[in-house]
Structure 1
Amino acid sequence: MRILLTEEKVNIPEGCIVTEKNKILTVSGPKGTETLDISHMLLSVDIEEDALYVRLWSARRKETPIVRTCASLINNLVVGCTKGFLYKVKAIYKHFPITMLIEDAGKTVIIKNFLGSKCDRVIKMRGSAIAKLGQEKDYLHIEGPNMQTVSQSAANICQKCVPKNKDLRVFLDGTFVVSKGTIDQ
Structure 2
Amino acid sequence: MKVDINKFSEISIQAKIAFMEWLGRKAILHLKGASREAALAGLGLIEKWRRDQVVSGEELSLALMNEKDEGIYAYADSQNIVENDAVEVVGGVVSYVAWRVYKYTNKPMPQEYEQAGDDFLQWVLDQFEKLNSLDQIRISNVLNYLYDHYKSPADTLGEVVEISEMDRVANSQN
TM-score (norm 1): 0.25
Q: Which has the higher strand share?
A: 1
Name the structure with the higher helix share. 2
The structure number with the bigger radius of gyration is 1
RCO higher in 1 or 2 (8 Å CA, sep ≥ 6)? 2
